[in-house]
Each structure stands twice: as C-alpha cells, then as structure tokens.
Amino acid sequence: MSVSNQSETLLLAAEVYTFLGYSVIPLLGDVSADNPKAPSIPWNDYKNHIAPVEELRQWFLHEGFQGIGIVTGRISNLVVLDFDDPELYQSFRI
C-alpha cells in the first residue's frame, strides 16, 4: 500500500500532539463530506489512556484516516470553549 504525503503529515502531527501529552484520535476528515469532524473509531477509551505510536501508525498510515481530533478534558489537560452564537461569546467576554 502506498502511503501519501498527507498520511505521513497527519502521523507526524499526531505524534507531536501525543508527545505534548494530548490524547489523539482519528477523525473521518475528507472521507465524510457530511461529517468530517466525526471520530473514525469508538473513542471512549481514549478519555483514559493515550494511544501508543503503533496505534497512530495504524490509523493514519494503514487505515488512512483523514483527520486528527484531540480528546479534551483531564486526559489532555485541555478545556475548549465553543461558542456557536457570537452574542454568547460577547456575553462571555464581558
């Protein structure tokens, strides 16, 4: 199987995020135009452990997943605030 530059780039990014302590999961990406941000795998376990490099290689090189997601919360020490409404964001800023 030929590995694309995009797959290698995604793997490298996933490895860097993992090195930084983030729990990485693959997303559907370009495979699903309707839902590119959807996880490619059942991801619940990755709230409790970080995928090893071998698993990252499997996802991005062999299975060809097209996007990277980071599991937020305690596992990655990362909190995200997502404001879908600009007025809510303005209220939050104040």
pLDDT at position 75 is: 97
41 within 8 A of 82, measured Cβ to Cβ: no
| Other residues' Cβ atoms within 10 Å of the Cβ of residue 20 | 12
Q: What are the structure tokens assigned to 80, written together?
A: 């995200």
Q: What are the structure tokens assigned to 20, written together?
A: 């930084």
Backbone CA torsion sign across 72, 77, 79, 80: negative
pTM: 0.83
Residues with Cβ within 8 Å of residue 21, at least 6 apart in sequence? 50, 76, 77
Could you read off the pLDDT tens digit of each residue along the chain, which spans 94 residues? 456 898 999 999 999 999 999 999 999 987 778 888 999 999 999 999 999 999 999 999 999 898 999 999 999 999 999 998 999 999 998 8
